[in-house]
Amino acid sequence: MSSLLKITDLHVAVDEKPILKGVSLELRQGEVHALMGPNGSGKSTLAYTLVGHPKYEITSGTIEIDGTNINELDPCERARLGLFLAFQYPVTIPGVKVADFLRHAVTNIRNPERKEGEGLIPMREFRKELKERMEELGMDLEFARRYLNEGFSGGEKKRMEILQLAMLQPKFALLDETDSGLDSDAVRVVSEGLKKLSGPQMGSLIITHHERLLEYNVPQFTHVMLAGKIVETGNAELAHELHNHGYAAIRERHPAEAAEEQERQAKAQTANAGF
């Protein structure tokens, strides 16, 4: 049976400021969902909350995987249950190679009872698997010997994300893609990589405006966020429409949330101005 990630009436605050105001969404293994919405609507907040970032406080509502409430679980425990977030800004870890990083990550997921200092998954087994996955993705094996994120181009950072996805094989992949700063190579890497990895075993929630990403990975569901709420859910056509025409129609159809959005922006500007 396929697994279900179920979000019910989720309210989230950051530094006591309410950001998400009642988000409900069901993502099944095997489904592709797009999450869209103007800047500041709360898309990244939802992604970080799902993986258990400590800054994001759930004030009410639930996140469940197959009926188990995961609100209180730490990020590692959530990863073991099959949740994966590809970060917008992956970090550089000095002296750690791509392959080392992946070997640790894979061990932590597959061997949850492992104590600090106990063995990693055997090198030979890991190497074989890594090689297979990289070949499937058409990646140069040399890439695994690079230092993690050190001098990575946009495309290489994306390659890293896709390789992580391929090795960890999460049930639920959350992809939070910035729309600025991704060159066409990077967009192609994620678009094609994600398509190759998609199948009945993986559900994905793709946060993006990139037409290409959604052309390669056609969403069954498109959700639109405005001022911390999902105001509309449609199919791939909705994503297409938003890409071509922007959010004006959405704001018109949801005047209360549009007003809330304006209010939030005004407050942020006041705060930035140092008042």
Binding-site ranges for ligand ADP (CB under 6 A): 14-15, 19, 37, 39-45, 55, 264, 268
DSSP state of 120: P
Handedness of CA 102, 63, 197, 138 (dihedral sign): negative
Nearer to ligand ADP, 31 or 177 (CB): 177
Nearer to ligand ADP, 40 or 234 (CB): 40
> Cβ 235 to ligand ADP, closest distance in Å?
21
Nearer to ligand ADP, 68 or 272 (CB): 272
For residues 219 and 213, is the Cβ–Cβ distance under 8 A?
A: no
The letter for the amino acid at 195 is: K
> Cβ 47 to ligand ADP, closest distance in Å?
8
**Continuous segment of H or E residues that includes residue 158:** helix 154-168
- Could you say which of Mg ion, ligand ADP, none residue 42 binds, taking C-beta under 5 to 8 angstroms by partner kind? ligand ADP
* Closest C-alpha among 53, 57, 49, 52 to residue 15: 57
Number of C-alpha atoms within 13 angstroms, CB side, residue 39? 5
Enumerate the β-bridge partners of residue 206.
34, 175
Nearer to ligand ADP, 178 or 201 (CB): 178
- Could you say which of ligand ADP, Mg ion, none residue 111 binds, taking C-beta under 5 to 8 angstroms by partner kind? none
**Cα–Cα distance, 83 to 34 (Å, whole number):** 16
By the rule CB under 5 A, 149 interacts with Mg ion:
no
Neighbours of 100 (CB within 10 A): 16
> Cβ 262 to Mg ion, closest distance in Å?
19
By the rule CB under 5 A, 44 interacts with Mg ion:
yes
Nearer to Mg ion, 17 or 131 (CB): 17
> Cβ 91 to Mg ion, closest distance in Å?
17
Q: Using CB atoms, what's the residue nearest to Mg ion?
A: 44
- Burial (CB count within 10 angstroms: exposed 0-12, middle 13-18, buried 19+), residue 16: exposed
- Could you say which of ligand ADP, Mg ion, none residue 19 binds, taking C-beta under 5 to 8 angstroms by partner kind? ligand ADP
Nearer to ligand ADP, 37 or 193 (CB): 37
Token pair recorded at residue 231: 């105001």
Task: List interacting residues with Mg ion (CB under 5 A).
Answer: 44
